[in-house]
Amino acid sequence: MQLLPDLSLVLASQSPRRAYLLEQAGIPFVVRTADTEEVYPPETPVLEVAPYLAELKAEGARHLLQHDDEVLLTADSVVILDSLIYGKPADRDEAISTLRRLAGRTHTVVTGCCLLDARRKEVFSGISYVTFNDMTDAEITWYVDHCQPYDKAGAYAIQEWVGLAKISRIEGTYPNIMGLPVDLVYERLLKWK
């Protein structure tokens, strides 16, 4: 038995974490990717950036749909603190600086998603709140040097040391923080046809 027997999901993402989450949830999919420049208008409210980028990625990957029963899934995650977005750090110094800002504070993780087929499109977001314990400079430097979180929004991954040793509270879902609100994706896919 398949969870979604009449639907073929196409994940348009190179993120191994998003693929892992779908696999763990038992949602069958194939991966097809397209490059899209991730830019958004500067006046975009911070809570709307991730869904805007997910929709932008979906429109840029629309051509990847090959059959009528295929549904495209794209996603984008951002970390927000004090109304500022912390994306993927450019280098070691930026990763360390970002983690210093997040330490001892609560930040917001928004993962925007877009589901799209030949007939319809739906854009939605998962929102989670993550509270970090304080971190010493030595801990931050160790984490950055050992885990090299340069491809992760906010310079951390919840499934790595920071998430395991330095998060004191989560409101929302763990998968959303990891990069995909699987619960929301699944519920929408169930109602897709």
Q: How far apart are CA 35 and CA 61, in angstroms?
A: 8
- Going from the C-alpha of 187 to that of each of 4, 157, 182, 193, the distances in angstroms are 11, 25, 9, 12
- pLDDT of 7: 82
- pLDDT of 2: 67
The residue ranges of DSSP E strands in the chain, in sequence order, are 8-11, 29-31, 70-81, 84-86, 106-116, 121-132, 167-171
Tracing tokens 């950036």 back to the chain, one arrives at: 49
Strand 8-11 to strand 29-31: parallel, antiparallel, or no bridges (unpaired)? parallel
Identify the structural domains of the chain with CATH numbers, from first to last. Answer: 8-190 (3.90.950.10)
- pLDDT of 174: 96
Per run of 10 residues, the mean pLDDT along the chain (length 193 residues) is: 77 95 94 91 96 97 93 97 95 98 98 96 98 98 96 94 96 97 96 83
Q: How far apart are CA 25 and CA 15, in angstroms?
A: 16
- pLDDT of 20: 97
Residue 119 burial class via C-beta count within 10 angstroms: exposed 0-12, middle 13-18, buried 19 and up: exposed
Give me the active site residues, please. Answer: 76
The residue ranges of DSSP E strands in 3-120, in sequence order, are 8-11, 29-31, 70-81, 84-86, 106-116
Contact (CB, 8 A) for 29 and 22: yes
- pLDDT of 5: 65
- pLDDT of 68: 87
